[in-house]
Structure 1
């Protein structure tokens, strides 16, 4: 198949290929932007989770905090009741 029809098909195929490449590039850029946003959200959640874990840990280990074991002294079992 030679002649004007073959040249037209080839030029159309090349144009379609170029259009597909541009579309793929645009999609890749959008996906990169979304990935960056997801990374920022994950970092934010991890930071909040770490801060909450540290606060919870401080509450459990600080003897000045109410509700710790040091607030409830247990009498030995062999001592007489008061």
Structure 2
């Protein structure tokens, strides 16, 4: 459990740890989803990820309209389009 600006966030539960799976992705995305809730009050930008849960994962702070434009352009494969942290 962590807290960001007073908002609590479960990184992962004991059951999730035992089951393994995408625990590193969850540990990356869940706190960023809390960050996005905080950003919603002050800015249009949001936290997005590329390759979440891997050692080479990236965090991008971007306006969701820019990500939509990337998707609409057809120039990026699905793995090259940042995912909104939810």
Is the shorter-chain TM-score for this pair beyond 0.5, marking a shared fold? no
Rg larger in structure? 1
Greater RCO, 1 or 2 (C-alpha within 8 Å, sep 6+): 2
TM-score of the superposed pair, with normalisation by structure 1 = 0.25
More helix by share: 1
TM-score normalised per structure 2: 0.24
